[in-house]
Structure 1
Amino acid sequence: PHDKIEAIRMAGAIHDIGKISVPSEILCKPSMLTDLEFCLIKNHSEYSYEIMKDVESPWPLADIIRQHHERLNGSGYPQGLKDANILIESRVLAVADVVEAMMSYRPYRPALGIDIALSEIENNAGILYDPNVVSACLKLFREKGYQIT
């Protein structure tokens, strides 16, 4: 429905707002992160939730944002949620976030490209990522010619 699409659009625009609480030296570090540094970065979902939890919205934006690193098998963070306990909006955002992250340059690695990103979500459909969301994403890129520029 249009309402869920608008919620995903809004959450997508602000989902990493909590990274403002992570020191830039860690976010921009060109080498491997220590366990402590990785833990600080992983906390950005909770920081985002804390920033957004009292913001009035017709959608559960704070929860959508908090859950965007959750995975179907419970291996995600910050809450270790599984399957239907993860909001559908968060499951969509998770796939979009992974594809965008893998396609983008990071200080510690070059951009990996769309083929590797799509293989990641395809190989982990039903394990880490919602299979219906993955199917829709693959269709957009492989059949509809969608591109991220």
Structure 2
Amino acid sequence: MVRDITDRKKAEDDLMKARIELEQRVKERTYQLEEINTQMKQEIMDRRKVEDDLKESFITLRKTLEGIVHAIAIVVEARDPYTAGHQRRVAQLACAIAKQMGFKGEEIEGIRVACLLHDVGKITIPIEILSKPGKLSETEFSFIKKHPVVGYDILKGIEFPWQVATIVYQHHERIDGSGYPGGLSRKDILIESKILSVADVVEAMSSHRPYRPARGIDKALGEILENRGVSYEPEVVNSCLKIFAEKIFDFE
């Protein structure tokens, strides 16, 4: 009887001791988990702050980039008043074509920026040539043909998130290899450059130039239709014709 009581007392003591140890372990583990939870919350807050700071920096950089693009475009148009607004209108048309072709957000933005800067190389061309009312001589036209290369040299040092310099370099290339400055053929020309080239031709032909009156949008669309698959990428031409035919786009 005494032995049973003693054994029971020992068992109760052991149980009490085990419970106390368990409670202590639970308390320690709970404290550890609370510490981990606090650290995780702080890390999440820190990460969110970093993300917010990055977003703010990105927005600031975008605004700065947009300011640079706008400033360069103004300089180009100031040098060549007869084509004032040309780059902006080309950008509007090219973006509409790209959207029709299925391009999305950032892809279209890259095309827009390249269009706004595509004639930057003309700042080295004498104003007498840019504003000459008659037909250009072979020598004078050779100056004009250099502007994609000059534009490329000006823009290649700017770290755009798109291939702006290359698009500008290629915007007078033609898919049959008859363009300039490199005589590139279809497979070597960026699709963005093909879009820009069509938009450039349509806007230029439909607008007034010092050496000729405006030919109108119908003549301009007729030009790209006639040379679809020869000078201009068929998919680009088809998209351009479609947005005008369905009145999806019109120059402002």
For 1:95, give the aligned amino acid: V
Q: Which residue of 2 aligns with 1:70?
A: 173
* 2:242 is the alignment partner of 1:148: no
Secondary structure of 2:232's counterpart equals coil
Q: Does 1:136 align with 2:239?
A: yes
Q: CA deviation at 1:147?
A: 1.3
CA distance in 2, matches of 1:126, 1:143: 22
Query: Equivalent residue for 1:51?
Result: 154
The two structures have a TM-score, normalised by structure 1, of 0.97
Determine the structure 1 residue equivalent to 2:184.
81
CA–CA distance in 2 between the matches of 1:145 and 1:9?
A: 18
Matches within 5 A, 1:118-129: 118-129=221-232
Tell me the amino acid that sits aligned with residue 131 of structure 1.
Answer: P
* TM-score, L = length of structure 2: 0.58
Shift of 1:39: 0.5
Deviation at 1:4, TM superposition (A): 1.9
Counterpart Cα distance in 2 of 1:146 and 1:87: 23
Residues 51-91 of structure 1 deviation map (CA, whole Å, 9 limit, x = unaligned): 00111111111000000000000000000000121000000
Partner of 1:27: 130
User: How many Å separate the matches in 2 of 1:51 and 1:145?
Assistant: 34
**Which has more radius of gyration?**
2
Q: Distance in 2 between matches of 1:58 and 1:145?
A: 29
CA-to-aligned-CA distance 1:2-22 (integer Å, 9 cap, x gap): 222111100010100010010
Which protein is richer in helix relative to its size? 2
Structure with higher RCO (Cα < 8 A, 6+ apart): 1
List runs of 5+ in structure 2 lacking aligned partners.
Answer: 1-103
**Residue 61 of structure 1: aligned partner:** 164
| Alpha-carbon distance in 2 for matches of 1:144, 1:68 | 26
Identity over aligned pairs, percent: 55
Instruction: Tell me, in whole angstroms, the C-alpha distance in 2 between the residues paired with 1:126 and 1:50.
Output: 30
Match of 1:8 among 106, 111, 115: 111
SS for the counterpart of 1:146 is coil
Task: Rate the CA distance shift 1:35–1:114 in 2: closer, same or farther, 3 A.
Answer: same
**5+ unaligned residues in a row in structure 1: which ranges?**
none
Q: Give the ranges of 4+ consecutive aligned residues of structure 1 lying more than 6 Å apart after TM superposition.
A: none
3-state SS of 1:69 partner: coil
CA distance in 2, matches of 1:144, 1:3: 25
Is 1:107–2:237 an aligned residue pair? no
For residue 176 of structure 2, give the secondary structure of its aligned residue in structure 1: coil
Rounded Cα–Cα distance in structure 1 between residues aligned with 2:132 and 2:126: 10
Paired residues, number: 149
**Alpha-carbon distance between aligned partners in 2 of 1:96 and 1:114, rounded to the nearest angstrom:** 12
SS at structure 2 position matched to 1:29: coil
